[in-house]
Amino acid sequence: MPYESIIVEAEPPVGIIRLNRPKAMNALSFGVLREIVDALEAFDKDDRIKVSILTGNDDAFSAGADIKELSEATPVDLILRNQFALWDRLKKTAKPIIGAVSGYALGGGCELAMCCDMIVASETARFGQPEINIGIMPGAGGTQRLTRTLGKFRAMEIILTGQPITAREAEKHGLVNRVVPVEAYFGEAKKLALQLAQKGPLAVRMAKEAVLKAFDTPLEEGLQFERRNFFLLFSSEDMREGMKAFIEKRPPNFKGR
Amino acid sequence: MSKTGYETITVEKKESVGKITLNRPSALNAINDAMGDELNSALKEADKDEKTRCLVITGAGRAFCAGEDVSSLKERYSSGSHPSLGDHLRKKYHPMIMRIRSMEKPVIARLNGIAAGSGASLAFACDIRIASEEAGLRQAFIGVGLVPDSGSSWFLTRFLGPGKALELIMTGETIKANDAESLGLVNKVVPAAELDKTVEELAHRLASGPTKALGLSKRIVNRVSNLDLADALEYEAIHQDIAGQTRDHLEAVRAFLEKRQAKFSGN
């Protein structure tokens, strides 16, 4: 499938999606987002791919929504365009997504980064929700995901002042997994991806699902969900192979079944 | 090559050495608003210009830099109102100091004369300080009822420890170049007549070095003072990976094996 605003590379077992609108600081137009979601869904269906990496360039992961595209929009346009349906599809990606973030991750770009399952950031990364500066507010999960990750008070400050935070601050508050020099962030994300790719794909998928469940269920329900996924994995070939390999002191050969 | 368009500073470039000269000798190169703006923009240019592989900062006339030019705040003061100094620092000095510290190429302070107040901070922010015997350093803040700014307290505490730092800050005494050298505040002191030659030699040597590795070394040193040993080891290792990927590293090793002088391209 030809993509216009992203570059998609399959380097099995890793699938790489690179935002490619450098002149627009990788602004998230409607088209870019659709392409990202299409590419992630294609990787979900591709058996060779175990993990996706979502990245931009050194200067910008994504500097936010395409303001030009939004400035003329009426509520009716927004309803008809149904952009948020794309964000809902993004949330349903089954395989893990690693965000490799450098430079600006602002507004929709920050929200996109927060849709990833892990984030490797460069030292030059900046995370923020500057929507308030142009008279709107985050609309693709910013108020919810930032608050669940950073807590009310820090999230409130970032969202109400519009002031971005540095990669180091983000690391301190648990918004990113690790911060490395700008020359190394993509390599580090790839290392992490390859590490995940060695695990049993079914187990990874169900564990991811269970972790995400923690965001919108009470503990008791989440524990039940976890238990169900745990039991389910005991019916997999990978479970038998994993345990056998452990006992035989050899690396497992997972089939994803 | 000399660039025009600046009024309070001059900017030159010779081969890959850039030079910024504070040029208000009659005011001992005190930094007024115009100079603050020009300095910030010249530093940014030197930072972005890949062909500038070493930068020298110096002053025209007998001073390096007398610090903030309070005459721009004169009207405020004479009407008896208090200025808002914090914002002034944030806007004018913080970008300057941060730019010097974060640009990934060597920056040399050529201390031709006195460096006082934020002028001393400017010198401290540089990577290496070469002073003429006529030079001196002075924490001038306390003399006007103020506290160290533009990074002075940070630099002095790291260079000297809190005891000596506070002595300099509280007495406001001028440290002569030779004493500054024994304290470790300047790297080298030479007679005034030899200053040019010494700085030029060093600048050209650094400018023909492996710039990427020099820049990464600076990045590491800037960061490790906040890290414990285990994290510092990791920070070094991850940068050694990066340095190991440079053309200059390959060239240096090859030159060594072939018993010839390495020729560095800077990346």
Q: Do B242 and A180 touch (CB under 8 A)?
A: no
Listed by number, the residues of chain B in 215-254 with a beta carbon closer than 8 Å to a beta carbon of chain A are 216, 219, 238-239, 241-242, 245
Structure tokens at B112: 């031709």
pTM: 0.88
Query: Alpha-carbon distance A144 to B105, whole Å?
Result: 42
- Which three-class secondary structure string do you get for chain A? CCCCCEEEEEECCEEEEEECCHHHCCCECHHHHHHHHHHHHHHHHCCCCCEEEEECCCCEEECCECHHHHHCCCHHHHHHHCHHHHHHHHHCCCCCEEEEECCEEECHHHHHHHCCCEEEEECCCEEECHHHHHCCCCCCCHHHHHHHHHCHHHHHHHHHHCCCEEHHHHHHCCCCCEEECCCCHHHHHHHHHHHHHCCCHHHHHHHHHHHHHCCCCCHHHHHHHHHHHHHHHCCCHHHHHHHHHHHCCCCCCCCCC
A222 is catalytic: no
pLDDT in tens, A105-148: 999 999 999 999 999 999 999 999 999 999 999 999 999 999 99
A200 is catalytic: no
A128 is catalytic: no
- Chain B: give the shortest CA distance to residue A107, in Å: 25
Yes or no: say if B80 and B131 are a contact pair by the CB < 8 Å rule. no
Asked if B176 reaches chain A (Cβ–Cβ under 8 Å), the answer is no
Of all residues in chain A, the one with the smallest CA distance to B245 is A183
Question: What is the predicted ipTM?
Answer: 0.81
CA angle, residues B244, B247, B252, in degrees to nearest 5: 80
Listed by number, the residues of chain A in 168-207 with a beta carbon closer than 8 Å to a beta carbon of chain B are 180-181, 183-184
Q: Which residues contact B225 (CB under 8 A, 6 or more apart)?
A: B158
Yes or no: say if A95 and A50 are a contact pair by the CB < 8 Å rule. yes
**What's the mean pLDDT when you consider all of chain B?**
95
Quickly state the pLDDT bin for B210 (edges 50, 70, 90).
very high
Of all residues in chain A, the one with the smallest CA distance to B220 is A181
- When computed from its CA atoms, the radius of gyration of chain A, rounded to whole angstroms, is 19
pLDDT in tens, B161-208: 999 999 999 999 999 999 999 999 999 999 999 999 999 999 999 999
Q: Which residues contact B213 (CB under 8 A, 6 or more apart)?
A: B243, B246, B248, B249
One pLDDT digit (tens) per residue for chain A, 257 residues: 689 999 999 999 999 999 999 999 999 988 999 999 999 999 999 999 999 999 999 999 999 888 888 888 888 888 888 878 899 999 999 999 999 999 999 999 999 999 999 999 999 999 999 999 999 999 999 999 999 999 999 999 999 999 999 999 999 999 999 999 999 999 999 999 999 999 999 999 999 999 999 988 999 999 999 999 999 999 999 999 999 999 999 999 999 99
Dihedral over alpha carbons A216, A220, A226, A231 (to 10 degrees): -150
Question: CA-CA distances (angstroms) from residue B206 to A181, A227, A247, B18, B83?
Answer: 23, 62, 58, 12, 42
CB pairs under 8 A between A and B: 11
Catalytic residue from among A111, A171, A188, A226: A111
DSSP H or E stretch at residue B136? strand B136-138
- Chain B: give the shortest CA distance to residue A11, in Å: 22
